[in-house]
C-alpha cells in the first residue's frame, strides 16, 4: 500500500481542501446512465452508473455523506479510479438527495437507513460481485448494511461516524462550528423543501428551536422514523454496535486528526476479535480529506482500488477464473 504523505497537516485545511479540490470524472470515456430504483412503495432513489470498456470485474456502489449527493468530489474521483481499474461505478443518492425530494414521498433519510441501498444492490444483480464504499455518514450506512447479511463482496468506510452520539458531540465543539452550521442550514432547507411538496408532514414551526444537529434529530429525524428521541436513534443506528457481526472483508480508513470524528470511537473490541475488519489510520488526513503531497493525489482512492484488487484475488472474480469459459 502506498504510504500517505499529507499535503496538509492541519486537519481543518485537509478537510476543506478535500471538499473543494478539483476532481475529474470523464463522462465522454465512461458515459453516465441515470436510473431511478424503486426501493419501497412511494420511494425511488437515483443512481448514476458508469461501466468500464471491458466487462466489469465487479460492481462498486458509492454512498455519499450527510447532505451530500452522487456529485460529491470524493464520489467522482473514486468512480474515475474504479472505472480505470475495470470496475463498474454506481454513485448512489440517499433518498431525497441529489434533487430527488419529489421521489421520496413523506420521508427523508437517516444515518442507519440500509433498506434503499439493499434494494439497489439486489436490483443490480449478482452477475458480478458487489462492493459498497461509504464516505462519512455513508460509511456508517455501509458498515451497518454489511452486518445484515446482504450478499456483498466487501465494504469500505472512509471517515465513518461509527458512534453517532460521540460524533454529534464532537461536531458541536466550538472549533467545528463552521461545519455544524453548514450541515444545519442544509438540513433545515430540506425540511422546508419537503413541506412545499407535501404540506403538513413536518412541524416546520419548530425549525427556530433547532440550534444543533442533536436538536434536529430529536425534533425531526427520530420521530419521523419511529426512534422516539435523538439519543435512541444514535444508540440503535450507530454501526459500532454491529461491527462484530460483519462477515465480509471490511476496510475502514480513518485519520487520527479527523476534526469531526474522535479517534477514540475506534478503540472498539471488534477490531481485536473480528478478523474481517481492517483499520487504516494515518496520523493526518482530516475528514474525508487525504489529499496527498505527491501522486496519487487522492490517496484514499488508490487504497480502495488496491484493497478491492486484493479481495478479488482472494475470491477470484469470475472473469479471472481460468476455468470460466
What confidence category does residue 1 fall into, taking pLDDT thresholds of 50, 70 and 90?
confident
**Can you give the pLDDT at residue 2?**
85
Same domain, 21 and 159: yes
The answer on 157 and 48 residing in a single domain is: yes
Question: 197 by DSSP, 3-state: which?
Answer: helix
Question: What's the structural domain count of the chain?
Answer: 2
Structural domain including 205 reads 164-237
Pair 259, 290 in one domain: yes
Q: Is the distance from CB of 97 to CB of 137 less than 8 angstroms?
A: no
pLDDT > 50? residue 323: no
In a domain, 2, yes or no: no
User: Cβ distance 87 to 128 under 8 Å?
Assistant: no
134 and 47 within one domain: yes
Residue 265 forms part of a structural domain: yes
* Omega of the bond leading into 296 within 30 degrees of 0 (cis): yes
With a cut of 90, say whether residue 320 has pLDDT above it: no
Q: Which residue among 237, 264, 294 closes a domain?
A: 237
Of 185, 205, 237, the position where a domain reaches its end is 237
149 and 200 assigned to the same domain = no
Tell whether 215 and 271 lie within a shared domain.
no
pLDDT in tens, 287-316: 999 999 999 999 999 999 999 999 998 877
Residues 66 and 179 in one domain: no
Is 130 in the same domain as 247?
yes
**Residue 324 domain-assigned (yes or no):** no
Task: Assess whether 154 and 250 both reside in one domain.
Answer: yes
Give me the CATH number covering residue 129. 3.40.50.1820
Contact 133, 78 (CB under 8 A): yes
The half-sphere exposure of 187 on its side-chain side, counting CA atoms within 13 A, is: 23
Q: What is the pLDDT of residues 170-211, one digit of tens each?
A: 999 999 999 999 999 999 999 999 999 999 999 999 999 999
Tens-digit pLDDT profile for residues 9-52: 999 999 999 999 999 999 999 999 999 999 999 999 999 999 99
- Compute and round to an integer the Cα radius of gyration of the chain: 19
The whole-number average pLDDT for the span 89-97 is 97
Does 55 share its domain with 119?
Answer: yes
15 lies in a domain? yes
| Strands of the 250-253 sheet, one edge to the other | 33-40, 43-50, 88-92, 59-63, 130-135, 154-158, 250-253, 277-280
Q: Is residue 322 part of a domain?
A: no
158 with 77, same domain: the answer is yes
Final residue before a domain boundary, out of 237, 266, 289:
237
250-253 vs 277-280, strand pairing mode: parallel
The gap from C-alpha 127 to its chain's centroid, in whole angstroms, comes to 24
Tell whether 6 is covered by a domain.
no
Render pLDDT for 47-89 as a digit per residue (tens, 0 to 9).
999 999 999 999 999 999 999 999 999 999 999 999 999 999 9
**In the predicted model, what is the mean pLDDT of residues 269-288?**
98
In a domain, 323, yes or no: no
Measuring CA to CA, which residue among 61, 75, 76, 51 is closest to residue 131?
61
155 and 288 within one domain: yes
Q: Is residue 186 part of a domain?
A: yes
The grid coordinates of residue 48 equal 448514476
Amino acid at each position: 500500500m502506498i504510504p500517505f504523505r499529507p499535503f496538509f497537516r492541519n486537519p481543518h485545511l485537509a478537510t476543506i481542501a478535500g471538499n473543494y479540490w478539483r476532481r475529474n470524472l470523464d463522462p465522454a470515456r465512461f458515459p453516465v446512465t441515470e436510473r431511478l430504483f424503486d426501493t419501497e412503495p412511494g420511494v425511488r432513489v437515483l443512481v448514476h452508473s458508469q461501466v468500464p470498456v471491458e466487462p466489469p470485474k465487479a460492481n462498486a456502489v458509492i454512498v455519499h455523506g450527510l447532505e451530500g449527493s452522487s456529485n460529491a468530489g470524493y464520489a467522482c474521483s473514486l468512480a474515475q479510479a474504479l472505472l480505470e481499474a475495470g470496475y463498474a461505478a454506481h454513485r448512489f443518492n440517499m433518498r431525497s438527495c441529489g434533487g430527488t425530494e419529489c421521489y421520496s414521498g413523506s420521508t427523508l433519510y437517516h444515518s442507519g437507513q440500509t433498506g434503499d441501498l439493499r434494494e439497489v444492490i439486489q436490483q443490480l444483480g449478482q452477475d458480478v460481485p458487489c462492493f459498497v464504499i461509504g464516505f462519512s455518514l455513508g460509511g456508517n450506512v455501509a458498515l451497518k448494511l454489511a452486518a445484515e447479511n446482504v450478499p456483498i463482496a466487501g465494504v469500505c468506510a472512509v471517515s465513518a461516524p461509527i458512534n453517532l452520539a460521540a460524533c454529534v458531540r464532537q461536531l458541536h465543539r466550538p472549533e467545528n462550528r463552521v461545519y455544524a452550521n453548514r450541515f444545519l442550514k442544509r438540513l433545515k432547507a430540506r425540511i422546508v423543501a419537503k413541506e412545499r411538496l407535501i404540506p403538513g408532514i413536518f412541524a416546520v414551526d419548530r425549525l427556530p428551536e433547532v440550534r444543533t444537529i442533536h436538536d434536529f434529530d430529536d425534533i425531526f429525524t427520530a420521530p419521523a422514523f419511529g426512534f422516539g428521541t435523538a439519543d435512541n436513534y444514535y444508540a440503535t443506528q450507530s454501526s459500532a454496535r454491529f461491527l462484530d457481526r460483519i462477515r465480509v472483508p471490511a476496510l475502514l480508513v480513518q485519520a487520527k486528526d479527523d476534526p469531526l470524528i474522535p479517534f477514540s470511537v475506534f478503540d472498539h473490541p471488534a477490531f481485536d476479535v473480528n478478523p474481517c475488519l481492517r483499520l487504516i489510520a494515518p496520523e493526518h488526513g482530516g475528514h474525508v480529506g487525504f489529499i496527498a503531497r505527491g501522486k496519487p493525489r487522492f490517496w484514499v482512492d488508490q487504497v480502495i482500488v488496491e484493497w478491492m484488487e486484493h479481495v478479488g484475488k482472494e475470491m477470484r472474480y469470475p472473469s479471472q477464473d481460468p476455468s470460466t469459459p
